[in-house]
A and B are shown apart, each in its own frame.
Chain A
Amino acid sequence: MNMRFASLRSFTLAALTAATMLAGTGTSFAQDAHATPKPPRESWTFAGPFGHFDRAQVQRGFQVFREVCSSCHAAHLFAFRNLAQKGGPEFSEAQAKTVAESFKVQDGPNDAGDMFERPGRLSDRWPSPFPNEQAARASNGGAYPPDFSVLAKARTYEVGFPGFLFDIVRQYQEQGPDYIHALLNGYKDPPEGFKVPEGGHYNEFFPGHSIKMPPPLSADQVTYTDGSPQTVEQYSRDVAAFMMWLAEPHLEERKRIGFMSMIFLIVFAGLLYFTKKKIWRNVEH
């Protein structure tokens, strides 16, 4: 029993090492997290108690995602119907349908037992660029481009004492978009003495500084129709906002109901306090 367990453990260890090497710096935070600077805090429309998404911004972010990011990154929880849903980019249903129909989606099997392709429908999910993780790695130098579905909630940075306590009062939950925005603007020439491993790119905000993703955005790469600046800074801000919505599609509803609940609870607590005082008025305690 012990023997088997020991060999099993060494196997796991070997597999782990291999996987870590394979994954390179592509998937999650690597060792050197402490040397990474904190991403600056941006001002987001969806922060705070009355936070809401800027429709135009999320629509632009969707455009960046569609034209740039989605060629490598999947978003398997993202359904076309979400585009027309309240509290998001709020495209019209017709627009969402047009987006869906521009994709071929595999369906089937039909009566002959074959899979077939048909135009996408609102109920379909965003097709992944690669059929599986292995294919994604093979096409991306061994790194796995993470799925976008909840990525904005899966990324953060350490706030430290006492900031983390203030964040409770300030309701700051936007570390994910901060990080994404910083990362997309964080490509730089490596400092002297830093050797970027082969296939890596130096990024100031990526833990370990060597990221497999080449700088994805460049100026004028995506043509905006609303006259917003076509800069990396603007693209990254827009796509970060889009990703936040994608990760938390009910954010607006949550904050709206939250405000009503708070008002209710505070008034109710006030009433209870006076009722309590009245009941206890003749009892010294």
Chain B
Amino acid sequence: MSGHATFEPKNPALKWFESRLPLVGLIHSSFIAYPTPRNLNYWWTFGGILSLMLVCQILSGVVLVMHYTPHVTLAFDSVEHIMRDVSYGWLIRYIHANGASMFFIAVYIHMFRGLYYGSYKAPREVLWILGVIIYLLMMATGFMGYVLPWGQMSFWGATVITNLFSAFPVVGPTIVEWLWGGFAVDNPTLNRFFSLHYLLPFMIAGVVVLHIWALHIAGQNNPTGVEPKTPKDTVPFTPYATIKDAFGMVCFLIFFAWFVFYIPNYLGHADNYIPANPLVTPAHIVPEWYYLPFYAMLRSVPDKLGGVLTMFSAIIVLFFVPWLDTSKVRSAAYRPLYRQFFWIWVAACIGLGWLGSKPAEGGYVIAGRVLTVYYFVHFLIILPLLGLFEKPKQVPASITEAVLAKGKTAASPATTA
């Protein structure tokens, strides 16, 4: 993509350096001159917010490791040592623990935005798939991180999730023993989870670089779904997107700080303040909230292997969304039917999340089955068919035209900030 301006160093020292490693030029073209559609709304600030959260989690995590001990007899107490004795340890630990939830809130909003505006469609399929890979890595990282404090939920969460792999025929039990490094979740498990929990965020960071690279190749999608055609359709990233992202980030930080300072244990589970006990399972085992929809799917299938496969399929299906959606129109703004189905699907996901927190009995299970089926129907049947039958609204000729048209009506400024 051609930028609004290219970087020409004037300073001779910088010139010397740039001719050998064009670092400043890269930053300039990626984050300063990079053209972004002028009509992006605040849902587009979540990419920046996610980068912020990744940095926040890595920094606070590196600091926590300075005081944490990954051993079954010491892990719980070392976390409490952080909370009690380390200077500002409580703050850093609460930032990290709640930061994980904030990271997932942001990533879900980011994904829903992508699904709503069709950001996965050509030429952004690889961008989308890289995003799904980041999401998978996040789930693995979050799960292993939750094991580290070695409370009751840590232990039993680890037991239940690793036991998922025992569903696979023949190799299942061996895989589980290899995951555990023993015959139950124990010290070897804690140690390897700790190691991987430290490694995976850097892998996420690596894939994020690819994700941003792919983004800068294809350019950003925008609420109209129409590609920028003239320089008039875009504005330079700095200061326009920078300042908007900064405002979005600080608003998000207010929300984040509310949890960290006022209700730091709200998103956690009280049972995790009981040290792990391999002989007693808590009455209600519930995963962290961000896994609840998948947990509900797992429990709605009466067969062990079936449940596990259903759960994994729910994520795998996301990889195929670019090809399952057959519509030529990107943005749901111009797809009246898809827009409705999108919100029904969002409601189904939230419903699944709520069911995941409920005991697996009676009406909850039936509701769980209905919503699980609907989840797949949405992707496998509704998406392909909609493209064939839906009659989209008139798509504007360009971003500028859409913006100016909106400026004229002026009655509805809410949709795009």
Taking Cβ atoms with an 8 Å cutoff, the residues of A that contact B are 1-2, 5, 8, 12, 15-16, 19-20, 23, 27-31, 33, 49, 76-77, 82, 146, 149-151, 153-156, 161, 167-168, 171-173, 175-176, 207, 247, 249-250, 253-255, 257-259, 261-262, 265-266, 268-269, 272-273, 275-276, 279-280, 283-285
Give chain A nearest CB distance to B53 CB in angstroms. 16
CB contacts (< 8 Å) of B314 on chain A: these are none
Inter-chain contact A255/B262, CB cutoff 8 Å = yes
CB contacts (< 8 Å) of B254 on chain A: these are 262, 265-266, 269
CB contacts (< 8 Å) of A258 on chain B: these are 257, 260-262
Name the residue in B83, B94, B235 with the highest tally of chain A Cβ atoms < 10 Å from its Cβ: B83
Assess whether B195 is interfacial by the CB under 8 Å rule.
no
- What is the bound-complex CA distance between A223 and B392, given in angstroms? 79
Inter-chain contact B173/A5, CB cutoff 8 Å = yes
- What is the bound-complex CA distance between A2 and B280, given in angstroms? 25
Give chain B nearest CB distance to A68 CB in angstroms. 22
Assess whether B213 is interfacial by the CB under 8 Å rule.
no
For window 150-180 of B, CB contacts with A under 8 Å fall at 152, 173-174, 177
CB contacts (< 8 Å) of A8 on chain B: these are 183
A-B contact count (CB 8 A): 135
Query: Given the known A-B contacts A15-B279, A16-B279, A276-B247, are A261 and B261 also in contact in the complex, defined by CB atoms under 8 Å?
Result: yes
Inter-chain contact B39/A150, CB cutoff 8 Å = no
Query: Given the known A-B contacts A257-B261, A262-B254, are A31 and B38 also in contact in the complex, defined by CB atoms under 8 Å?
Result: no
- What is the bound-complex CA distance between A176 and B279, given in angstroms? 24
Inter-chain contact A154/B274, CB cutoff 8 Å = yes
For window 81-99 of B, CB contacts with A under 8 Å fall at 83-84, 90-91, 94
For window 387-417 of B, CB contacts with A under 8 Å fall at 403-404, 407, 416-417
Give chain B nearest CB distance to A277 CB in angstroms. 9
**Residues of B contacting A: mostly:** helix
Inter-chain contact B280/A23, CB cutoff 8 Å = yes
**Closest A residue, CB atoms, query B238:** A279
Assess whether B23 is interfacial by the CB under 8 Å rule.
no
Assess whether B210 is interfacial by the CB under 8 Å rule.
no
Inter-chain contact A153/B265, CB cutoff 8 Å = yes
Inter-chain contact A269/B250, CB cutoff 8 Å = yes
Assess whether B350 is interfacial by the CB under 8 Å rule.
no
- Chain B interface size band reads 35 or more
Contact with A along B273-292 (1 / 0, CB 8 A): 11001011111100000000
Query: Given the known A-B contacts A247-B273, A250-B83, A284-B403, are A269 and B257 also in contact in the complex, defined by CB atoms under 8 Å?
Result: no
Assess whether B271 is interfacial by the CB under 8 Å rule.
yes
**Closest B residue, CB atoms, query A158:** B284
Could you list 23 examples of A-B contacts with CB < 8 Å? A1-B173, A19-B279, A19-B280, A27-B280, A28-B271, A28-B274, A28-B280, A77-B80, A146-B274, A154-B270, A154-B271, A155-B270, A167-B266, A171-B263, A172-B263, A175-B270, A247-B273, A254-B90, A254-B264, A265-B253, A283-B38, A283-B235, A285-B416
Query: Given the known A-B contacts A173-B265, A173-B266, A265-B254, are A283 and B240 also in contact in the complex, defined by CB atoms under 8 Å?
Result: yes
